[in-house]
């Protein structure tokens, strides 16, 4: 099922709903290496902004992570509602083995730490491979 406008899609209230949304919007990997950032408001509604970042390095680099952290923190602050703060869903995309590899874990750890450092709540970190979507870290 394709979601033409994520802001009009059902709310993302559970981990399984987040997983399904990543499957719908990112799907199986078609890019060599890419990072997808999706934003969710405090009510659980996905923001219409989906940020794909191409050609990320195989291992996380401090300047890249710092820039991503600043973007995520700013967007999450803007998505705060009466119910709660904004959050992010992160998906690493890469063609290759259908398993979470050491480099994938390094990226997930660096992204999680950046979010903790800036106060951006993480709803989940996922991996998209040729075989499908895998959860690396739950929200």
Q: Which domain holds residue 38?
A: 10-138
Query: Looking at residues 30-45, what average pLDDT do you find?
Result: 94
Share the mean pLDDT of the chain: 91
Strands 121-129 and 87-94 turn out to be parallel
Q: Could you read off the pLDDT of 93-121 as tens digits, one per residue?
A: 999 999 999 999 999 999 999 999 988 89
**Domain-embedded: residue 5:** no
Asked whether residue 4 is assigned to any structural domain, the reply reads no
CATH number at residue 74: 3.40.140.10
The three-state secondary structure class of 25 is helix
Q: Which helix (H) or strand (E) holds 132?
A: strand 132-138
């Amino acid at each position: 099922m394709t979601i033409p406008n994520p802001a009009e899609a059902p709310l993302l209230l559970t981990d399984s709903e987040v997983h399904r949304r990543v499957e719908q919007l990112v799907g199986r990997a078609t890019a060599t290496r890419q990072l997808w950032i999706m934003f969710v408001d405090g009510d659980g509604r996905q923001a219409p902004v989906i940020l794909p970042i191409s050609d990320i390095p195989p291992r996380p680099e401090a300047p890249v992570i710092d820039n991503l952290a600043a973007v995520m923190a700013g967007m999450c602050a803007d998505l705060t509602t009466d119910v709660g703060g904004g959050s992010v869903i992160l998906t690493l995309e890469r063609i290759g083995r259908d398993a979470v590899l050491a480099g994938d874990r390094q990226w997930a750890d660096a992204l999680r730490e950046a979010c903790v450092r800036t106060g951006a709540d993480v709803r989940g970190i996922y991996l998209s491979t040729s075989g499908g979507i895998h959860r690396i870290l739950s929200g």
